Chain A
Amino acid sequence: MPLVRNEKITADDFVRVADDATIPAGGNVLIPLARFLEDAEALLQRDGKVGVILPNNRDPDDLEPYLERLALIALVFPTFRDGRAYSQARLLRERYGYDGELRATGQVLRDQFVFMIRAGFDAFEVKKDSDALAFEETIKRYSVFYQPTADGRFTALRQRLFRPYAAASR
């Protein structure tokens, strides 16, 4: 499953640790939330970066005390039709000010890339190779947006107010 970061397919420098597997002494690890919470402080002090997988039915509150020390949060789309992680992403970015990597995992498909970026994701474990290859092209599909989100894009409403009316009318 290719990982897309900064619009490019890149190697994943995190090792995903299963619930019952031994956590390697060094290197970057991606750990399920429950396991992380059991021993958060110790994990954060080991050598290597720590990332956490936040299930989509959990409140991002759980991670609040650790956000500054987490290098990665992976949110989950069990199917692309389950949109809970979009809310988690926006909360993490916009309410809690999390600025580390926010990774979309699960059924991550081409036709949701733009939504994900707008919600605050900046890394994508893409399900299909062809979708990962089309990433750069796909995210240029839209140039105008109606809603403000933390991706900072100017909304249509603001765009209209900051230019002469004549340009806006037919």
Chain B
Amino acid sequence: MYAYDDIDRTLLSERVSEFRDQVKRRLSGELTEDEFKMLRLQNGVYLQLHAYMFRVAIPYGTLSSKQLRRLAHVARTYDRGYGHFTTRQNIQFNWIKLAELPDALADLAEVGIHSMQTSGNNTRNVTSDQWAGVAPGEVEDPRIWSEILRQYTTLHPEFSFLPRKFKFAITASKHDRAAIKIHDVGLRLHRNDKGETGFEVMVGGGLGRTPFLAKTIRHFVHGHDLLSYVEAILRVYNRYGRRDNIYKARIKILVHELGADKFAQEVEEEWRQMDKRVLTLTDADIENVRSRFSYPVYENLPHMPDELKAAAHDTRFEAWRKNSVAPHKVPGYAIVTLSLKPVGMPPGDATAEQMDAIADLADRYSFGEIRVGHEQNLALPHVAKRDLPALWRALDKIGVATPNVNLVSDIIACPGLDYCSLANARSIPIAQELTRRFANHETASLIGRLHINISGCINACGHHHVGHIGILGVEKNGQEVYQITIGGRADENAELGNLIGPAVPYGEVADVVEDIVEAYLALREGPDELFIDAVKRLGVEPFRERVYATR
């Protein structure tokens, strides 16, 4: 956990006062909507179909139990009793009133959370691996660097009015759980031959209308130089990124139009000319940030405690353990994923009661810490294995122990036309129907790892391009129709999916997905060949033939 000090707290309270003043001026008519819109966006306030939407940042996906309880409080007091966890380690409240927002912000500021730059054309919430600091084999905890970047990018005087939004993601593990290749800047932490910490810097990834995977522009930037190098990238983008067309304004277009090599040269040239002294991080700077992260004091615990052995005869527990419990870097402990994808329900939603209950369980079983992943699930990162059976019973009781993590019903979906003013089609009801079709755990386990991603418009908040099965809702003659792709993935081997055939109407999407899954089961070499590997081996064609033969 990162502990805010008085400096961080002062900044936050100053931000709240500023926004309170801005809201007051808007409500009195002193500010027009045109002037106010960017100010509210910079505080994470959108206007959706039914109401304002309020997006709160959960930097690098780490929350304390106290913070989660406060999010529950906001849901209960200012909203309709629930929140929605997004694909970028944010939580959204869908029914907030503008007039009450300053109070909600003030309540959140008390526990060190905020909504700064969760929207707008600035540097957004810095995301990272939700297993940071606890994953076995990690180079080092990427959250230290994420926090350094969070501070650097917060209210940046030069980069608060970029051509378009700008997203950073950092990973420090071989397996990329932060989807860094679909970010404007993806940072892969690694060590050079001298054992020094640095970053492979990838630029220009992103989905939306023109999807691109990020390209490496430098294999190693020393940790000390992270901020100056990032400043060089941002300056090149701020000066040369397109501002004439909103769909061509992201850095991915600049990188694409210049070519990655030329873009890299521009950055190098800017970096060379820059006076790096003030931005160079000293070891003391880095240690200072590191020192304000607290880590649990782990006990020496058995790898296979009696409690676990005793629970092994319970088939429901075992199904959950095999699915939702992952190895921890410390023996005797485990990382537990909490599925926010119960059958028939909107992916990523949690009620205030669930949040409170999860906060209590985090206090009891996970040193008061909760993680939020881009897959729209939560995790308890430090659970003693002996506590797993008791934890499971508690999680099951509040509906967050569905053993479907990474399985076909662990669907990522944007809010879609049910909430979003940009959407052309609904996402959530499609997800709900799919979870019902694949509700049988044995079937889902037989299918194995399979990620379905659904977006309700081309902006791709549901990351459909990188879903193993991607579903994109569009509108055609007033009807919702859905384009389906297969073969996408968001990890270290990131790929964009390929269209499998003509778009299908709302009512047929679940049938088509079922047919794709059946085709996979028939075509795979064996149970060990995952869906994504079968698509890689066979290409789209055999799937297309089977799925569209009768359509």
Contacts and interface: CB of A to CB of B under 8 A. Distances in A.
- Asked if A and B form a direct contact in the complex, defined as CB atoms under 8 angstroms apart, the reply is yes
B162 interface: yes
Nearest to B18: A141
A143 B14 contact: yes
Nearest to A57: B239
B11 A144 contact: yes
B298 interface: no
Contacts of B17: 141
B483 interface: no
Among A115, A118, A165, chain B packs the most CB atoms within 10 A around the CB of A115
Nearest to A170: B3
A109 B158 contact: no
A82 B243 contact: yes
Interface stretch (A23-31, A39-47, A146-154): A146-154
Given A83-B158, A115-B160, A170-B3, A148 B278 contact: yes
Among B156, B157, B285, chain A packs the most CB atoms within 10 A around the CB of B157
B443 interface: no
A7 interface: no
A144 B152 contact: no
Interface in B1-22: 3, 5-8, 10-11, 14, 17-18, 22
Nearest to A117: B157
Contact of A161 (B22, B243, B279, B288): B288
Among A95, A130, A160, chain B packs the most CB atoms within 10 A around the CB of A160
A146 B152 contact: yes
Contacts of B35: 80, 109, 111
Contact of A168 (B5, B238, B239, B273): B5
B216 interface: no
A90 B158 contact: yes
B238 A84 contact: yes
Interface string A125-149: 0000010000000000111111111
A85 B291 CA distance: 37
Interface in B243-289: 243, 273-275, 278-279, 284-285, 288-289
A161 B160 contact: no
A17 to B, nearest CB: 27
A144 B158 contact: no
B284 A161 contact: yes
Contacts of A160: 5, 7, 288
B504 interface: no
A87 B279 contact: no
A168 B243 contact: no
Nearest to A137: B21
A31 to B, nearest CB: 23
A87 B243 CA distance: 15
Interface in B32-61: 35, 38-39
A73 B279 CA distance: 26
Given A84-B239, A168-B5, A115 B157 contact: yes
B76 interface: no
B5 A169 contact: yes
Nearest to B10: A144
A37 interface: no
A156 interface: yes
Interface in B212-261: 235, 238-239, 243
A160 B286 CA distance: 12
A82 B161 contact: yes
B164 to A, nearest CB: 11
Contacts of A156: 7-8, 11, 151
Given A157-B151, A160-B288, A83 B161 contact: yes
A111 B22 contact: yes
A148 B157 contact: no
Contacts of A161: 284-285, 288
B285 A157 contact: yes
B239 A159 contact: no
B161 A147 contact: no
A149 B162 CA distance: 18
Contacts of A165: 291
B326 interface: no
Given A81-B38, A109-B35, A144-B10, A87 B239 contact: yes
Given A130-B30, A149-B158, A156-B151, A87 B235 contact: yes
B323 interface: no
A95 B151 CA distance: 23
B17 to A, nearest CB: 7
B159 interface: yes
Contacts of B3: 169-170
Contacts of B10: 143-144
Interface string B94-136: 0000000000000000000000000001000000000000000
Contacts of A159: 7
Contacts of A83: 121, 158-162, 238
Nearest to B235: A87
Interface string B465-502: 00000000000000000000000000000000000000
B38 A119 contact: no
Interface string A98-118: 000000000001010011101
A86 interface: yes
B154 interface: yes
Given A83-B162, A83-B238, A157-B288, A119 B157 contact: yes
Interface string B415-453: 000000000000000000000000000000000000000
A122 interface: no
Nearest to B150: A146
B22 A147 contact: no
25 contacts: A82-B161, A83-B159, A84-B238, A86-B159, A86-B238, A87-B158, A111-B22, A111-B39, A115-B160, A118-B157, A141-B18, A143-B14, A146-B151, A146-B155, A147-B157, A148-B279, A156-B8, A156-B151, A157-B151, A159-B7, A160-B5, A161-B285, A168-B6, A169-B5, A170-B5
Given A115-B157, A161-B284, 16 more contacts: A81-B161, A82-B243, A83-B159, A84-B239, A86-B238, A87-B238, A94-B275, A111-B18, A130-B30, A146-B151, A156-B7, A156-B11, A165-B291, A168-B5, A168-B6, A170-B5
Per CB-CB distance, the 8 closest pairs between chain A and chain B, nearest first, are A83-B161, A118-B157, A148-B278, A146-B151, A168-B5, A115-B157, A86-B158, A156-B7
Interface of B: 3, 5-8, 10-11, 14, 17-18, 22, 30, 35, 38-39, 121, 151-152, 154-162, 235, 238-239, 243, 273-275, 278-279, 284-285, 288-289, 291-292
